[in-house]
Amino acid sequence: MRPAIFLDRDDTLMEANSLPPPPPPGARGDVVNPELVKLLPGAKDGCERLKQAGFALVVVSNQGVVARGAGTMQQVQDVNARLAELLGGNLIDAFYFCPFHPKGNVPEFTREHPWRKPAPGMILAAAVELELDLSQSWLIGDAQRDIEAGLAAGLPKSHCILLNRDTTLRSAAAQICK
């Protein structure tokens, strides 16, 4: 078993909330066009450092855009593929995303789901499927629900890092790898 870094996608690795939303029923932060994917400063450097330190890198992302009907599963996968390409193609070990949202418009996705953060489902599924050691793993995200998901999955509190204006992925990687 190996340790992992669980990474939120939007506003952790790539810009999201600063972009214009897709047409209604899209919401601020929804990214469905791969051409709009832009890495945040320090994202690639931080991922490279974490990978070199021996961590599996796993993206765990709520994608309620699918439930709202403003994007498709394929569009989410296309954005993920573009993100992986910009990061260098082989840094991310796996992408997990939750297309469900209780206030959606698409009946098959309009509900709460154990994968939807702050629930720990994506992290727990990745741990089993990728044989990850949660006791040695970390989570990096930009929202409190990311931290809550990490804690609910059993990650140590000190291993859940909330990014802000002063803490970038690069500085979080430096903290983890010191």
Select 12-141+152-160's CATH number: 3.50.50.60, 3.40.50.1000, 3.40.50.300, 3.90.25.10: 3.40.50.1000
Active site residues: 8, 10
Q: What is the pLDDT of residues 82-141, one digit of tens each?
A: 999 999 979 999 999 999 999 999 999 999 999 999 999 999 999 999 999 999 999 999
Helices (runs of H) and strands (runs of E) counted in the chain: 6, 5
For the segment 33-85, what is each residue's pLDDT rounded down to a tens digit?
999 999 999 999 999 999 999 999 999 999 999 999 999 999 999 999 999 99
pLDDT of residue 158: 97
Alpha-carbon distance values, 12 to 41, 44, 67, 68, 166 (Å): 10, 11, 22, 22, 13
- My answer on whether omega of the bond before 118 falls inside 30° of 0, hence cis, is yes
**Hey, where are the domains in the chain?**
12-141+152-160
